[in-house]
Amino acid sequence: MAPPPNPGPSATVAAAGVASVGFWRWLAVAAPHLGALVVMFQTETDFAARAGFVLSWGILNFFWIALLRRPALSGALSLTLVVVLVLLSRLKHDIVQMTANFVDLMVIDRDTAAFLFTIFPGLRWSVISAALVTIPLMYALWWLDPFRIRRLPAAAGMLAFLAALVGYAFAWPDEAWRGYYDDGYLSKFSRSGVTAVSDFIHYGFMESDAVATARLNMPLLDSCHPTGRRPNIIMIHDESSFDIRSADGIKVPQGYGSHFKSFDGKARKFLAESNGGPSWFTEYNVLAGLSSRSFGRFSYFVTRIASGRVARGLPLALRRCGYDTISLYPAFGAFMSARSFQMTTGIQHFYDAHDLGAKDVEPDSFFYDKALGLMSQQAPAAPLFMFVYLAANHFPWETRFRPELTPSWRPPGNEPVVDEYLRRQAMSADDYTAFIAGLKKKFPAQPFLIVRYGDHQPEFSPHVLDPDLDEAGVGKKLENYDPRYYATYYAIDAINFEPVKSPTAMETIDGPYLPLVIQEAAGIPLDPSFEEQKAIMLRCNGMFYACRDGAEARRFNRLLIDAGQIHGL
């Protein structure tokens, strides 16, 4: 029998070429999955988180396969989405100390994109460049991929992984405090998707009773006729400020504590609804006069959700009584939809960091000087409400902020973070004293009511309040709203005006009651919604959402919905 023909050199080269092409095609299929494994081990910290990553990865891959039928391209698209999520989570954590959440997709809006492109001017070109690189690569994978998978089995695989993810999310519920950890990006995002959709189906964005037996008869805009002289009202957002003597063993400078006292010498407590960072929770409290806790898992996005939907609040109530309303904001107005939200609650003139000419973080004196300048431009016939939002006492406290402003400062001897915090509090107190002196000098005959509050405790406060607790223990206390972690202060001051005595000026109040306290102290007639809220305050002894496990807040929300002050929620 004749031996088989010996293949020539050209045939051997051709066979090697076919094998090489086959290798690259197999590699195109396998590479995204290998890349995903690397991402998983780099970003997910324990078995449960990695299980969530695998389930999410399966959903993404089978989704794209059901759509495109090509596993290589599907894997590449899935990996691209995961990497983008990781990068966006890290970016969000750098800005607001919290990773990306599924609700980010549910409430995505123009303000968010505008904010990102404003603070990162090069981001627009980075997105365009990435698209120009990614599109040709995806086309190459489309051509290289030799496999085709039927759509029905792929869809079945996606549904199987989705069912497993739902079971996983209910077995290991998403704990809100873990959102502050800079890890577990995909697993936390996926779990939050299951719980957020479940909560949205159950009660929508905001909790409220299904029906209410009573109704609020809201007055006309010009129906408010207060007796006596109306004071100008200034509400001051004192960033991250609380009386740190609540913690044991803290050394404070001489005279510390006077900043927290009102005109009558009393120190009063303000129970915020956030700890360590999200000032917009308290912004919602003091402007809308409502609780962010009514939004459940959506509370982190409260100002974005409430924008255009919650047309009730302190500025609107004061405008009804003839006030002009102004807000000075230390960041860009698109941040958490601040401009849109504040205007929804009745702010007529909103000045953000760009409008004010702020350069990065400015000391309190910068905003006080701007406030004095804007007040000088106001017509004296109309009383003024001004919301002054300070930022100098914001984290990080690892670095000294404007040390030249406190040349004589001597650290009391605590850990460096605490001493820097105390130094900034001293700066705030001095700037406030100078502001009061400026008001008296520039407007010697004008009456003023000034109300200050700490928007939340600093992020290190749990460490000094309970130094022996680990992160999980602290997280549980935060989740259960331990008052020690949420108590700051509120103080009432006045110039050429005697604040009206009222039972609402309690020793301790929940944040949503501050608009009520301000109106009472100023002698402003309450509209029916604030009258109803006053009745709740008095029978609940200063508690709002915590009263009757949220029942009072849910009933009140329904009254506001029926009165047309809340819609679309």
Domains and CATH numbers, the chain: 12-203 (no CATH), 232-531 (3.40.720.10)
Kindly tell me if the per-residue pLDDT of 10 is higher than 50.
Answer: no
Q: Which of 49-63, 208-222, 394-408, 524-538 has the lowest mean pLDDT?
A: 208-222
* Number of neighbouring beta carbons within 10 Å of residue 424: 25
Q: What is the pLDDT of residue 53?
A: 92
**pLDDT of 261-285, one tens digit each?**
999 999 999 999 998 878 999 999 9
Q: What is the pLDDT of residue 63?
A: 92
* Number of neighbouring beta carbons within 10 Å of residue 371: 23
Identify whether the C-beta of residue 274 lies closer than 8 Å to the C-beta of residue 96: no
Kindly tell me if the per-residue pLDDT of 127 is higher than 80.
Answer: no
Q: Which of 106-115, 225-234, 528-537 has the lowest mean pLDDT?
A: 106-115
Kindly tell me if the per-residue pLDDT of 360 is higher than 60.
Answer: yes
Q: What are phi and psi of 488, to 5 degrees?
A: -120, -125
**Model pTM?**
0.82
Q: What is the pLDDT of residue 9?
A: 46
Q: Which of 7-21, 104-118, 322-336 has the lowest mean pLDDT?
A: 7-21
Show the 3-state SS of 465-498: HCCCCCHHHHHHHHHCCCHHHHECCEEEEEECCC
Q: Give mean pLDDT, residues 441-450.
A: 95
Identify whether the C-beta of residue 356 lies closer than 8 Å to the C-beta of residue 370: yes
What's CA 278's distance to the chain center, in Å?
4
Query: For the stretch 528-537, what's the b/e string if a residue is b when 16 or more beta carbons lie within 10 angstroms of its beta carbon?
Result: ebbebbbebb
Residue whose entry in the numeric block shows the structure tokens 């002054």:
388
| 277 vs 493, more confident | 493
Residue type, 150: R
Which pLDDT band, with edges at 50, 70 and 90, does 14 fall under? very low
The whole-angstrom separation of Cα 387 and Cα 347 is 9
Q: What is the pLDDT of residue 21?
A: 47
Q: What is the pLDDT of residue 137?
A: 67
DSSP output for 311-322:
--SHHHHHHHTT
Contacting residues for 551 by C-beta, under 8 A, at least 6 apart: none
Consecutive H or E run containing 508: strand 508-510
Which pLDDT band, with edges at 50, 70 and 90, does 201 fall under? confident
Q: What is the pLDDT of residue 336?
A: 85
Closest CA to 326 of 394, 238, 432, 232: 232
Dump strand ranges (E) for 390-498. 448-454, 490-495
Share of the chain above pLDDT 70, in %: 85
Which pLDDT band, with edges at 50, 70 and 90, does 246 fall under? very high
Q: What is the pLDDT of residue 24?
A: 60
